[in-house]
Amino acid sequence: MAVDVVDATLFASVDPVALRGSVCAACGAHVFPALESCPMCAGVDVADVALPTQGTVWSWTTQHFEPKAPFRTDGFAPFSIGYVDLGPVIVEGWLVGKTDWSIGEHVSLVLAKAWTDGDTVVHTFGFEVTA
């Protein structure tokens, strides 16, 4: 069964899940989502790259109020977001499975249910505590 995602261009692959970033040939900077130029050195020779899927929590917060549109949800409950240090780049995303976190926790990339659209379950990327 195909998995629906919020934006297919975010992913290098969905199964197994990996994020699609880009890397600059000139300075080696990694960015996410992929860009066609490098904001770090202003270079234009960049290529797609699958980002590491393991990292550590760099910062976190829990969203205690329901964001305004265009936020979509089947039913709001407080949820956590954070920045995860993947090594070459720090990526912002959902932190799933709990709402109280510590900086430095080891986490792994997962697909997380974002909302349902008719019969379709739409997923985004998130990070959960590494088993």
Partner 1 sequence: MSNEIYIVGAARTAFGRYDGEDNELAEQAIRGALADCGVAWTDVDFAVGGTNGETKPDNLVSRLGLTGLPFVTVKNGCATGGVALMTARNGLIAEGSDIACVVGYDNHARGAFNASPARYGIGEWYGATGMMVTTSYFALKIQRYLHEYGIDPITLGYASEKAFDYATAHPYAWRRKPVSVAEAMDADMINDPLTRFMFCSPDAGAVSLVLARGSRAFDLCETPIRLAAVELRGRRPGSFEVFSPWLSPGDRTSPSVDASAAAFAAAGIAPADVQVAQLQDTESGAEIIHLGETGLVAHGEQQAGYVNGDFRIDGRIPVNTDGGLLANGEPVGASGLRQVHEIVRQLQGRAEGKQVPGRPRIGLTHVYGAPGISACTVLMAEGA
Q: Which residues bind partner 1 (CB under 8 A)?
A: 6-7, 9-10, 21, 29, 31-33, 39-40, 58-65, 67-73, 79, 81-83, 85, 87-94, 103, 114-115, 124
- Tokens for 40? 């770090």
Q: Which residue lies nearer to partner 1 by CB, 6 or 47?
A: 6
Q: Which residue lies nearer to partner 1 by CB, 100 or 131?
A: 100
Shortest approach of partner 1 to residue 113 CB, angstroms? Answer: 11
Q: Which residue lies nearer to partner 1 by CB, 25 or 87?
A: 87
Shortest approach of partner 1 to residue 5 CB, angstroms? Answer: 9
Shortest approach of partner 1 to residue 95 CB, angstroms? Answer: 11
Distance CA(90)–CA(86), nearest Å, equals 6
Shortest approach of partner 1 to residue 14 CB, angstroms? Answer: 14
